[in-house]
Amino acid sequence: MKVRLLGIPIEDGAGRMGCEMGPSAYRTAGIVEAIAELDHEVEDLGNVTRGPLPTITPPHPHLRRLPEIAAWVGTVTEAAYRASDGALPVFLGGDHALAAGTVPGVARRAAEDGRPLFVLWLDAHTDFHTLDTTQSGNLHGTPVAYFTGAHGFHGCYPPLSHPVPPGNVTMVGIRSVDPAERRALSGSGVTVHDMRALDEHGVGSLVWRFLERVAAADGRLHVSLDVDFLDPSIAPGVGTTAPGGATFREAHLIMEMLHDSGLVSSIDLVELNPFLDERGRTATLMVDLLASLMGRTVMDRPTRSFAA
Ligand code: DIR
Ligand code: MN
Ligand code: MN
Ligand code: MN
């Protein structure tokens, strides 16, 4: 499968600046070479440029950079749709607001190809706020509510052509949920595996169960990997660290299982803030995780197969 890299240098959704430098950091960390080494054809499309600012009347005064985010969402949706034509796109963030564009873009592609889209959300946070519930006003906390079709974005973010059914979304690594998100998630259909679930059942069995569901539905799978999914001790280059995150070994195991499944059709790498990183170690770890997802292994081993 051909791999397409697309940089999305958006930082308006995060509470602090720096994510704009993410795509450059991934390239400096050798992302092109790491994928090419695994015998994939790689095409780097460069970075997308945000379209013009729409005129929006913000429903609340504390929403930070709403016109900018709305413009990015439109631009990114179109770019993601195009990048997913006959290739596996890897979207290099940029903050997590970009998923309000990448997911709708690849959802449209999947729908046109007659396949259901599933989303694996690897994050400390659920990013399930609407424009009415966010308290911080940081719009990187809103993409999942938007792309699953929640109310509360009308007249601000672009109208959504292909919402992802909430039942197709599984979150892993969750350990920071605001009260309004928690209320909205209960009964939403979204599967939330918090850190308690990971500790109790092990990340392998939780992810395996989800992959079996995707395979049984003949689905496509979008993976959205937020740097803060990882424990801050191994991934300091992010503005919203939360203690008690996924370990190096848990993260690589998930990536290797995703590779074995053969189901992944698009990927976000988000929230890397190179200004906060320690000599590129977080960027390098993210590239290594992507390489595991793309087939890098320690030893050859037989692939577990799916009964789809
Ligand atoms: C918090 C933090 N729930 C907020 N969110 C995110 O600001 O709404 N941090 N996404 O990375
Ligand atoms: Mn996030
Ligand atoms: Mn997060
Ligand atoms: Mn919040």
Query: Which CATH number characterizes residue 224's domain?
Result: 3.40.800.10
Location of structure tokens 């909430």: 166
pLDDT digits (tens), the chain, 308 positions: 899 999 999 999 999 999 999 999 999 999 999 999 999 999 999 999 999 999 999 999 999 999 999 999 999 999 999 999 999 999 999 999 999 999 999 999 999 999 999 999 999 999 999 999 999 999 999 999 999 999 999 999 999 999 999 999 999 999 999 999 999 999 999 999 999 999 999 999 999 999 999 999 999 999 999 999 999 999 999 999 999 999 999 999 999 999 999 999 999 999 999 999 999 999 999 999 999 999 999 888 877 666 55
The answer to whether 125 is a known ligand-binding residue is yes
Active-site residues: which are they?
Answer: 96, 123, 125, 127, 140, 226, 228, 271
The answer to whether 85 is a known ligand-binding residue is no
The Å distance, Cα 78 to ligand 1 centre, comes to 25
Ligand 1 close to Cβ of residue 125 (< 6 A): yes
Please tell me the predicted confidence (pLDDT) of residue 237.
98
The answer to whether 96 is a known ligand-binding residue is yes
Q: Is residue 301 part of a domain?
A: no
CA distance 157 to 144: 13
Q: Is residue 144 part of a domain?
A: yes
Ligand 1 close to Cβ of residue 175 (< 6 A): no
Please tell me the predicted confidence (pLDDT) of residue 253.
98
Give the nearest ligand 1 atom to 271 CA.
11
Q: Into how many domains does the chain fold?
A: 1
* Sign, CA torsion 125/127/128/134: positive
Q: Is residue 302 part of a domain?
A: no
Q: Is residue 303 part of a domain?
A: no
The Å distance, Cα 201 to ligand 3 centre, comes to 22
Q: Is residue 179 part of a domain?
A: yes
- Of the candidates 175, 291, 282, 288, which has an alpha carbon nearest to the alpha carbon of residue 235? 282
Ligand 1 close to Cβ of residue 273 (< 6 A): no
Please tell me the predicted confidence (pLDDT) of residue 307.
52
Ligand 1 close to Cβ of residue 138 (< 6 A): yes
Q: Is residue 307 part of a domain?
A: no
Contacts of 306 (CB under 8 A, 6+ apart): 211, 212, 215, 261
The Å distance, Cα 16 to ligand 4 centre, comes to 15
**For the whole model, what pTM was predicted?**
0.97
Q: Is residue 305 part of a domain?
A: no
Please tell me the predicted confidence (pLDDT) of residue 145.
98
Measuring from atom 10 of ligand 1, which residue has the nearest CA?
Answer: 141
Ligand 1 close to Cβ of residue 142 (< 6 A): no
Half-sphere exposure of 46 (CA within 13 A, CB side): 2
Give the nearest ligand 1 atom to 96 CA.
10
Query: 80 lies in which domain range?
Result: 2-293
Give the nearest ligand 1 atom to 141 CA.
10
Q: Which helix (H) or strand (E) holds 239?
A: none
Q: Is residue 42 part of a domain?
A: yes
The answer to whether 226 is a known ligand-binding residue is yes
Question: What is the DSSP track for 12-66?
Answer: TTSSSS-GGGHHHHHHHTTHHHHHHTTT--EEEEEE----PPPP---SSTT-TTH
